[in-house]
Amino acid sequence: MRLMIIGRLDGHISQAGKIALQRGAKVIHCEDTDQAIGALLNGKGADLAMVDVKQKIGVFIEQLEKERIHIPVVACGIGTDARAAVKAIQQGAKEYVPLPPDAELIAAVIAAVTEENNTMIASDPSMKAVVAMADKIAPSEATVLITGESGTGKEVMSQYIHRKSKRKDGPFIAVNCAAIPENLLESELFGHEKGAFTGASARRIGKFEEAHTGTILLDEVTEMHPLLQAKFLRAIQEREITRVGSNDAVKVDVRIIATSNRDMEEAVRKGDFREDLYFRLNVVNIALPSLRQRPADIPALAQFFADKYAEANGVAKKKISADAATMLQGCGWRGNIRELENTMHRAILLSTEEEIEAGAIHLSSSMSAAPTAATAPAPAVKSDGAASVQNPGGVEAIIGRTIADVERDMILSTLDHCLGNRTHAANILGISIRTLRNKLSQYKDEGLEVPAATGG
């Protein structure tokens, strides 16, 4: 865990840093937010920033968003100044930590950042086999391609492999190729020099350099433009990159993990993805099963998410009732773990009994046709491992409607199901975030109500 501490705080900041170091964190100290932004742009990565409330926290968070730097910010200050704490939270800080620092509180903040990413639930036989393969190849330097439907936990598996590798003490840097505009992805990966293009006001170190001695994850790599794929291939082959606006090659020592929710061989046949790059990435392939193919893991995953969102919303933790667990195991889960997470977020808020009851398990209207234990058999699994959801009335329900109408209802229902999160909805729908935003803009122009954005 890499912790960036920003500000002076009359000497208490060094004490917080020492506590973090004792808890296994790597610490970097910056005098102010300007210095912090400069450090981040020059490859000094961080997983968490602790900022003095006297600093311009709101401006700092805006700068992070502008530079597409995704790190949570925790405010800290001397004593328990309620007004300063509230203001910091309103400006975007995730939490407020009073100083002088309490060792257990600092530890809890660090744990909160790393807990979810360190969670690997795998008791189902199908998932145990996948984890066994990951354990076997993790210590190697082999490039890994992780495939599976949207929401199956490909990034969690990537982090698991990194933690089990020889590079575990190095950085783990994730890049979502689907979420970054096409014209900015090259700069994001390889960095740029000052003046390389309009808006490049300073040199920026790219994710490859930031991941030096560690692991870089290229999430949804099939969304990468074919022209950029050629430069990516060279980076893999030569182990060096060239910043945008520069002619000088920079050597990088990184292990590459890539993920995709698409049929990559089909993408190669269509010409959407380079064949030579596919073979470079597919040294080791880990295929994650869908959630419906690992039913034994569903209760444990559901309880994990229920506990997580109970704590996040300040409500009492509850066990999942037997009826609710049976219902969850019978669902089709087209959105996989991501859909289950959203379902349990709603359930912990709606539950009125001592245990989470079946009545608190609400699926969105677009998921109502999914089979449940009470209404339909579990999905059949074909010989190739793909699931076939039996829904004989589904086709008749859309006869007579235009494709555009069906598409619109599917997009809006999925977005509603994801509580407005654009990235999650795009992943479930199997489209890029760019395509989703264009569709939503079109619907707004047509006078339709679009769920408010909550992330992505």
CATH code for the domain of 198: 3.40.50.300
Q: Which of 289, 323, 350 is the last residue of a domain?
A: 289
Q: Mind giving me the DSSP string for 367-404?
A: GTTS--TTTSPPPEE-TTS-EE---TTTTGGGTTS-HH
User: Does residue 40 fall inside a structural domain?
Assistant: yes
Furthest-apart CA atoms within the chain: distance in Å: 71
Note whether 454 and 410 are same-domain residues: yes
Note whether 145 and 170 are same-domain residues: yes
Cα 6 to Cα 172: distance, rounded to the nearest angstrom? 22
User: Does residue 410 fall inside a structural domain?
Assistant: yes
Note whether 281 and 324 are same-domain residues: no
Burial class (CB in 10 A: 0-12, 13-18, 19+), 435: middle
pLDDT in tens, 274-308: 999 999 999 999 999 999 999 999 999 999 999 98
Note whether 338 and 420 are same-domain residues: no
How confident is the model over 362-375, as a mean pLDDT?
A: 48
How confident is the model over 334-349, as a mean pLDDT?
A: 91
Cα 456 to Cα 453: distance, rounded to the nearest angstrom? 8
User: Does residue 447 fall inside a structural domain?
Assistant: yes
CATH number at residue 317: 1.10.8.60
Instruction: Please give the tally of structural domains in the chain.
Output: 4
Cα 436 to Cα 443: distance, rounded to the nearest angstrom? 11
- Say yes or no to pLDDT of 375 above 50: no
Take residue 74 and report the two structure tokens written for it. Answer: 């925790």
Q: Residue 314: pLDDT band by 50, 70, 90 thresholds?
A: confident
pLDDT in tens, 33-43: 998 988 888 87
Parallel/antiparallel/unpaired status of strands 387-388 and 380-381: antiparallel
Note whether 132 and 234 are same-domain residues: yes
Q: Residue 383: pLDDT band by 50, 70, 90 thresholds?
A: very low
Cα 397 to Cα 151: distance, rounded to the nearest angstrom? 27
Q: What is the pLDDT of residue 217?
A: 96
Cα 333 to Cα 162: distance, rounded to the nearest angstrom? 28
Note whether 82 and 190 are same-domain residues: no
Note whether 278 and 158 are same-domain residues: yes
Q: What is the pLDDT of residue 390?
A: 38
Note whether 404 and 376 are same-domain residues: no
Query: Quick one: which of 1, 427, 48 has its CA closest to 219?
Result: 427
Contacts of 48 (CB under 8 A, 6+ apart): 1, 2, 3, 4, 71, 72, 73, 74, 109, 110, 113
Note whether 169 and 260 are same-domain residues: yes
Contacts of 251 (CB under 8 A, 6+ apart): 239, 240
Note whether 129 and 230 are same-domain residues: yes
CATH number at residue 99: 3.40.50.2300
CATH number at residue 424: 1.10.10.60
CB 60 within 8 A of CB 37: yes
Note whether 143 and 285 are same-domain residues: yes
Q: Which of 239, 266, 289 is the last residue of a domain?
A: 289
Which residue bears the tokens 């000497």? 11
User: Does residue 202 fall inside a structural domain?
Assistant: yes
The separation between CA 106 and the C-alpha centre of its own chain, rounded to angstroms, equals 24
Residue 8 Cα distances to 71, 92, 99, 358, angstroms: 21, 21, 12, 52
Query: Quick one: which of 258, 336, 260 has its CA closest to 301?
Result: 336
With a pLDDT cut of 90, the percent of the chain lying above it is 40
Residue 218 Cα distances to 123, 383, 413, 450, angstroms: 27, 30, 29, 30
User: Does residue 117 fall inside a structural domain?
Assistant: no
User: Does residue 392 fall inside a structural domain?
Assistant: no
How confident is the model over 119-143, as a mean pLDDT?
A: 92
End-to-end alpha carbon distance in the chain: 24
With a pLDDT cut of 70, the percent of the chain lying above it is 86
pLDDT in tens, 132-184: 999 999 999 999 999 999 899 999 999 999 999 999 988 899 999 988 888 88
Segments forming the whole domain that contains residue 450 = 400-456
Q: Give strand pairing partners of 51.
A: 6, 75
Note whether 239 and 151 are same-domain residues: yes
What letter does residue 356 receive in the DSSP assignment? Answer: B
Rounded to 10 deg, the angle between the 154-163 and 125-137 helix axes is: 40
Q: What is the pLDDT of residue 368?
A: 42
Average pLDDT, the chain: 83
How confident is the model over 56-62, as a mean pLDDT?
A: 90
Cα 430 to Cα 222: distance, rounded to the nearest angstrom? 12
Q: Which of 348, 366, 387 is the last residue of a domain?
A: 387
- Say yes or no to pLDDT of 239 above 90: yes
Contacts of 18 (CB under 8 A, 6+ apart): none
User: Does residue 393 fall inside a structural domain?
Assistant: no
CB 60 within 8 A of CB 36: yes
Instruction: State if pTM tops 0.85.
Output: no
